[in-house]
Amino acid sequence: MIAPGHKYPVIWMALCLLTLMNAVTLAADDAPEPPRHDRGYDVLRYELNLRLDPEAKYVTGSVGIRLSAVNQALERVLLDLVQEMTCTRCALQGEDLIFTHHGDSLLITLPSVLPAGETLTLDVNWEGKPKRHGELYAGLMFRTHDAGTIEDNSDDVPIIATVSQPWSAHSWWPCKDNPTDKALVGLSITVPDALRTVANGVLMSDSPAEPGWQRTHWEETYPIATYLVALAVSNYETWTEDCFVTNADPPDRPVLLEFHFLPMDRAEAEYDLAHTCQMMEFMTNLAGPYPFVGEKYAQVETTLAVAMENQTMTGLPRYMIRGDRHFETIVLHELAHHWYGNSLTPAAWADIWLNEGFARYCEALWVEEMQGRTAYDEFMRECGPERHETLFVGEGTLADPDPILPNFLVYDKGAWVLHMLRLMIGDAAFFEFMREYATDPELVLGSVTTADMIAVAEQCGGRDLGGFFGPWLETDQLPEVTATPRVIENGSSQGQVEVRLRQEQEVVFEMPVPVAVHFQDELRIYTARLTQREQVFTFTVPGAVDSVTIDPEGMALLRSAIIPEPTLAVTGPIPNPVGPEGGRFEIFLTQQAEVVARTFDARGRLLLVQPLGLLAATGRHGDPLTTPHTMEWLSNSRAGETPLPASGVYWIEFRAGEFRIVKKAVLLK
């Protein structure tokens, strides 16, 4: 699912509206999370049969639930089904069972105890008008192309679609609505024959049912979480594309891309989604082969408020289909979920950042792939400091976000944690991690935890990363880093600076800190990997050091305490090149000091010494209220006091106590 953001104002407004409506119409406890424990059984397969009546906005359904008892004998089966839906029958091998339906719980009593390890198939019938459900006001929704507005009935063609994240599946069908219990699913869907149906997996049959109605049967042959079971129904126009990717598995088998869009939006959709195969190639290179080999990757238009990564059939809201690729990163986001979310599904909703943080960061990587590093940096700033002025302080913790959704934190801070991990372990190890995590045979198509992800990161990074992940995930603190530089060598061809970094906040982070060393009008950025409260790092540059800053481009999650200004800063010469009349330098001092300037030619010979005496502090360089000291250079040569040197390159060394700065000047006579 995609969360709103500044780049996506339409989604932002839609989610704000939905949240407001939810606050007005639903109490917080009206859509509680279903029980998290295993309930004593494991679902192996759901066989769903649905009849959807768009005119009555009514669902009539049955589901066969094949399950096995785990750990101990099973006497009763607890399913989830909202009270607005009516359970009409529960049966086992044709024999009616006793059941109670109270609140969101459907409790079925078995005729005899099911021993651990044994299996059975329960049949459940239900019907009703689905209600909008949960924080996202989601579930199964009956609408029309014009969204059912009273003012405009010009296009009342039905459109039926589902969004079930995080736990709204049980708002329209009885199930064990827990992401950790993935199962195989068959879906048989009957709708009016003027409409077309799309669902998870592979279309097995499409045939007439009763007069005026059409029945399609779909098979999802890979394990699927209940929140990803989905359908969409309307008068879609459909087209397909065989997508051949470099690292496919098997190598010569294309991924079938399907596109299901409303007739009036087809041209815009064809343009907006033209890069889908290129995105599939990108994700395959990043994270390994498409996890659902032999099944399609479909994109389907809905009139819902959010995009949703339903397994093998992403739903895209109609307002995103504009014909200008404005929402292209969302297209990538939902595709990325098929690795990070649909194949690797969080075992508990507290780990939702493993879905949304990874998919958001894949957006950033796609931007980097298509537009370069500068665009990547801009994307990360937009979903970091530009959107979160406190850099996520006070927004809760990633390890246990509240609410689960909608929540900027799991998207944006999740992406930033991955960005920081990339800085921490380096690009080679990071991209190995992205692929190894997505293709780990112990994790693929199963349920994962943050601990599982960290274990892979540590393996690829070659080090313990508990001190890195712990503070980012379990606290909302922010590193506050001070830096104290000390120049230890400053020659014209080489400078060396020692930088002492110290964390001032309560919790000590293991973290990467970008350190920028400025020298001779150039800049070089290093990564200091800080693992203790206080450490000293040494950096060498090919020139005289001017100054040091930390994170000058805003590409780390930290608050920089003011770095002590160096005692000495020099700008100039002005002008440069310098003519026969000479030039001048401006000198800044943060404390009183004896200053002397020496001029050397390109061969290193000392030509001129200019003692400037004991100069008073001026204040820091860059402060508009600071008035610097000035030194004239070679201007006295015109008066005949010293001969004017030949045209060429000269080096002027300024010393103020232990601080030394070398400036380069070009003289043209």
Read off the CATH number of the domain in which 511 is found: 2.60.40.10
Question: What pLDDT is recorded for position 660?
Answer: 74
Same domain, 487 and 456: no
Evaluate whether residue 274 is within a structural domain: no
Predicted confidence at residue 371, as pLDDT, reads 96
Domain membership flag for residue 312 = no
Mean pLDDT of 179-205: 98
Q: At which of 235, 254, 285 does a domain end?
A: 235
Which among 130-144, 222-236, 388-402, 557-571 has the top mean pLDDT? 222-236
The Cα 174–Cα 126 span in angstroms is 8
pLDDT at 11 over 70: no
Q: Residue 637's pLDDT is what? A: 54
Asked whether residue 113 falls in the same domain as residue 211, the answer is yes
CA distances from 616 to 385, 486, 594, 612 (A): 39, 21, 9, 11
pLDDT category of residue 235 using cuts at 50, 70 and 90: very high
535 compared with 487, residue with greater pLDDT: 535
Is the pLDDT assigned to residue 21 strictly greater than 60? Answer: no
Top pLDDT among 149 and 633 is at: 633
Q: Is the peptide bond before 566 cis (omega within 30 degrees of 0)?
A: no
Do residue 532 and residue 574 come from a single domain?
no
211 and 120 both lie in a single domain: yes
- Separation between Cα atoms, residue 272 and residue 285, nearest integer Å: 22
Residue 406 belongs to domain with CATH number: 1.10.390.10
pLDDT at 349: 95
**Is residue 172 one of the residues assigned to a domain?**
yes
Which two tokens mark 329? 């990163």
Final residue in a domain of this structure, among 424, 454, 474: 474
| Shared domain check, 522 and 385 | no
Asked whether residue 454 falls in the same domain as residue 418, the answer is yes
Instruction: Specify the pLDDT at position 206.
Output: 96
| One domain for residues 573 and 598 | yes
Compute the distance between CA of residue 358 and CA of residue 663 in angstroms, rounded to an integer: 46
pLDDT of res. 207: 96
Q: How confident is the model at residue 458 (pLDDT cuts 50, 70, 90)?
A: very high
Residue 214 sits in the same domain as residue 356: no
What is the number of other CB atoms lying within 10 angstroms of the CB of residue 401? Answer: 22
Asked if pLDDT for residue 180 goes beyond 70, the answer is yes
Residues 505 and 387 in one domain: no
The answer, yes or no, to whether residue 451 has pLDDT greater than 90, is yes
Cβ contacts of 178 within 8 Å, gap of 6 or more: 34, 35, 36, 226
Residue 360 sits in the same domain as residue 454: yes
How many angstroms separate the CA atoms of 258 and 256, rounded? 6
Specify if 44 maps to a domain. yes
CATH code, domain with 81: 2.60.40.1730
Give the total number of structural domains in the chain.
Answer: 4
pLDDT at 73 over 80: yes
Per-residue DSSP letter, 250: S
Q: Has residue 379 got a pLDDT over 50?
A: yes
Element (H, E) at 665: strand 659-667
Q: Does 82 share its domain with 213?
A: yes
Question: Residue 307 in contact with residue 333, Cβ under 8 Å?
Answer: yes
Flag whether pLDDT at 4 surpasses 60: no
Q: Which pLDDT score, from 0 to 100, does residue 648 have?
A: 87
pLDDT at 394: 87
130 contact partners, CB below 8 Å, separation of at least 6: 57, 59, 84, 85, 139, 140, 141, 142, 171, 172
The answer to whether residue 154 is domain-embedded is yes
Confidence of residue 520 (pLDDT cuts 50, 70, 90): confident
Q: Are 499 and 609 in a shared domain?
A: no
The domain boundary, picked from 173, 204, 235, lies at: 235
Report the pLDDT averaged over residues 447-465. Answer: 97
Provide the pLDDT confidence category of residue 361 given band limits of 50, 70 and 90: very high
d(CA 260, CA 189): 17
* H or E element that contains 129: none
Cross-strand bridge partners of residue 320? none
Residue 151 pLDDT greater than 80, yes or no = no
Residue 301 lies in a domain: no
Q: What is the mean pLDDT of residues 40-68?
A: 98
Nearest residue to 517 via CA among 506, 504, 526: 526
User: What is the SS3 assignment for 275?
Assistant: coil
pTM (predicted TM-score): 0.83
Residue range of the domain that includes 642 = 568-667
Query: pLDDT at position 668, please?
Result: 87
Residue 464 belongs to some domain of the structure: yes
Quote the DSSP letter at residue 11.
H
244 occurs within a structural domain: no
> In this structure, what CATH number is given to the domain that contains residue 594?
2.60.40.2550
